[in-house]
Amino acid sequence: MLKLLAILTCIAAVSAASDADRMSDREYRQQARRAEKRHKALASQPTPPEWRAGAVWRFVTTPPAGKPKLEVITFRVTDESGVSCLGSGGWKDVWRKFVVLEGDARFGPIYQVEGRALQINLSGEMCDAYDIIDGVLTGGEFTGRRTTFGLGASTEVVGIVHGSLMRP
């Protein structure tokens, strides 16, 4: 009987979902379509020559007001293949590994670059808990956004990310 009551409670909770919740789903789908369109435009442009194997890049995350201090991560770009269980989201899904030179990125950070679009998965070796930097390369500079999300967790914007070439 208790099991049946729990099932009926779940059904009632789902049925009682507000129009605002349904609107969020619709807005999410619209946002995903806009992101895919933006990605296609950036992917069609040439990758800046500053982004290449052996180059050293520094990424600084500036959090929203009231959140913990900024975080600095420095990587050396490699051509070594990486693997992610993150869905492609319009990307070709060709991941490469980084060598961490500075900062807290202990879960095998990886990246994929298509044209000027760059996506970094700081949690490359983990599945179902993601820490993603997504943005645009312009010469020796990068601007993007860092978000976390995963199985059973909401999407949270961790901050704005600025990157720069430290050593070609």
Q: What string of H, E and C letters represents the secondary structure of the chain?
A: CHHHHHHHHHHHHHHCCCHHHHHHHHHHHHHHHHHHHHHHHHHCCCCCCCCCCCCEEEEEEECCCCCCCCEEEEEEEEEEEECCCCCCCCCCCCEEEEEEEECCCCCCCEEEEECCEEEEECCCCCCCEEEEEEEEEECCEEEEEEEEEECCEEEEEEEEEEEEEEEC
Amino acid identity at 10: C
Q: Where are the domains of the chain?
A: 39-167
What percent of the chain stands above pLDDT 70?
A: 85
Q: Kindly report the average pLDDT of the chain as a whole number.
A: 84
For 91-102, write each residue's pLDDT tens digit. Answer: 888 999 999 999
Q: What is the per-residue pLDDT for 67? A: 85
Interval 29-45 mean pLDDT: 86
Amino acid identity at 37: K
pLDDT at 109 over 90: yes
- For the chain, the first-to-last Cα distance in angstroms comes to 67
For 42-59, write each residue's pLDDT tens digit. Answer: 999 999 999 999 999 999
Place of tokens 């009551």: 5
Q: What is the per-residue pLDDT for 152? A: 82
Determine contact, residues 44/58, Cβ cutoff 8 Å.
no
39-167: CATH, from 1.10.3470, 1.10.150, 2.40.128, 2.60.120: 2.40.128
Which tops the pLDDT comparison, 129 or 14? Answer: 129
- Rounded to 5 degrees, φ, ψ at 3 are -65, -45
- Rounded to 5 degrees, φ, ψ at 164 are -150, 150
CA dihedral 116, 121, 125, 126 (to 10 degrees): -140
Determine contact, residues 95/104, Cβ cutoff 8 Å.
no
